[in-house]
Structure 1
């Protein structure tokens, strides 16, 4: 038996938990996941070697996504699971071990604290990744046991410009194998002439590059979609409210057709 002391926990007892569950008994058929809700870094990681404002920028989290998710949860009476730590600590929407799970460069910015070995990567996954996804899985399992109709909506945001390339889309609807939610969302959003709507742009869902939709949606056979709002549309409170009202209205319309009798709010 080794006489070495146990490795220190990545998260100190007084630090935030790896996830937050909001309204777990919500009546809506929608279950909301916010994979990039926080820009917090555990103290033990010393800001990952970043000493400017990088963590407050888009590489640190999805700006506005948590606020939008919380408001949607209220409007729909939907359960919501939010991640507790920055995507730079470990990305909760990337398979562990994938090249972008713990990036050493993000958005052109070097991340000194992410030059780590496999043991440290596993410790980050154990502390921040798996607890979040176990919480989401437990919520979905409980609904299945109750026979509750369920659809998975992942809420993200994207930067207006990346590496010098402007993104014209105000909103993007992302999907993989399952278009049951994506198709109606695209149709509804395109009916609004003021919106430029991305269809699997600027990103698209893949098994190798995503986790939440393939695992919590597709693998369970649940209707699922990833919604991305451009971050400059989520700065002001009134803009967050407008997006929340719009998405809630569209989801209620889709729910009535796709999941009749679901008993949403």
Structure 2
């Protein structure tokens, strides 16, 4: 199923997981041209979360679970930022200017919110509402990827597990990934906060749902082989983490 601003993959297999991916797409609305950014620059991490589309779709198929993906580039609007956030529509990203985002009026930025951001989050909200109506235990899994080097610093983590007000499931997943011999960041390379993020605070924490935000280093999932490896790993470890969570805390239904 595809609509203007998001795509939905997979199917609900009766499990707890709902997968979301805020930065999986690279599209730009025709009316905006190329935003004045070259195709080479748009293909960098500034335009999307490299590799996370393949990981998410493979994971959705393997679990199975529903995956809701944003299809537009984060250079158009960042769907993991609250409406009106200073970094919602960037004028510059990692040294690259975005001419098409300069000096936008409220009408122009509002059009992007109404066309892209709000429909994506409405679709997530509808999925969660449907699960709540049938009293289905639910865990939100937000999928992201991060660049191996930022501002000259080589990031050592294979993956990061991000959490904010509820760290219960995150702690379990951290242990499981580290048991695999991986270097895993605890709120690294980014910290999840009420102001820096939107999807998890809005859809998981407001509802009191358990969640994990997963960041995977992009060089590990740039190829289809790497994407398949990480999808298989997460398809194995996420159910294990959920079983441990339920044993400790109940099923969150």
Deviations 1:74-116 (A, max 9, x none): 1111111000100110001011111110010111111111111
Deviations 1:126-157 (A, max 9, x none): 00000000000000000000000000000000
Alignment match, 1:125: 113
Alignment match, 1:34: 21
* Segment of structure 1 superposing worse, 45-54 or 147-156: 45-54
Secondary structure of 2:35's match? helix
Distance in 2 (CA, whole Å) between partners of 1:85 and 1:54 is 15
Scaled by the length of structure 2, the TM-score of the pair is 0.94
Residues 176 and 241 in structure 2, CA contact (< 8 A), matched pair in contact too = no
**Unaligned ranges ≥5, structure 2:** none
Match of 2:142 among 131, 154, 160: 154
Alignment match, 1:183: 171
Structure 1 runs of 4+ with >4 Å offset = none
Alignment match, 1:234: 221
Correspondence 1:199-214 to 2 at 5 A: 199-214=186-201
* Segment of structure 1 superposing worse, 242-251 or 133-142: 242-251
Alignment match, 1:8: none
Distance in 1 (CA, whole Å) between partners of 2:73 and 2:39 is 15
Shift of 1:26: 3.1
Alignment match, 1:249: 236
- Give the total of aligned pairs: 247
Residues 149 and 259 in structure 1, CA contact (< 8 A), matched pair in contact too = no
Residues 16 and 84 in structure 1, CA contact (< 8 A), matched pair in contact too = no
Alignment of 1:69 onto 2:77: no
Scaled by the length of structure 1, the TM-score of the pair is 0.89
Distance in 1 (CA, whole Å) between partners of 2:221 and 2:161 is 16
Secondary structure of 1:168's match? coil
Alignment match, 1:145: 133
**Unaligned ranges ≥5, structure 1:** 1-14
Correspondence 1:164-179 to 2 at 5 A: 164-179=152-167
Alignment of 1:222 onto 2:222: no
Secondary structure of 2:185's match? strand
Residues 54 and 228 in structure 2, CA contact (< 8 A), matched pair in contact too = no
Residues 34 and 80 in structure 1, CA contact (< 8 A), matched pair in contact too = yes
Deviations 1:195-229 (A, max 9, x none): 21111011011111111110111101000111000
Alignment match, 1:196: 183
Distance in 1 (CA, whole Å) between partners of 2:106 and 2:132 is 35
Residues 108 and 163 in structure 1, CA contact (< 8 A), matched pair in contact too = no
Shift of 1:187: 0.5
- CA RMSD in angstroms comes to 1.5
Which structure's CA Rg is the greater one? 1
Distance in 1 (CA, whole Å) between partners of 2:167 and 2:23 is 23
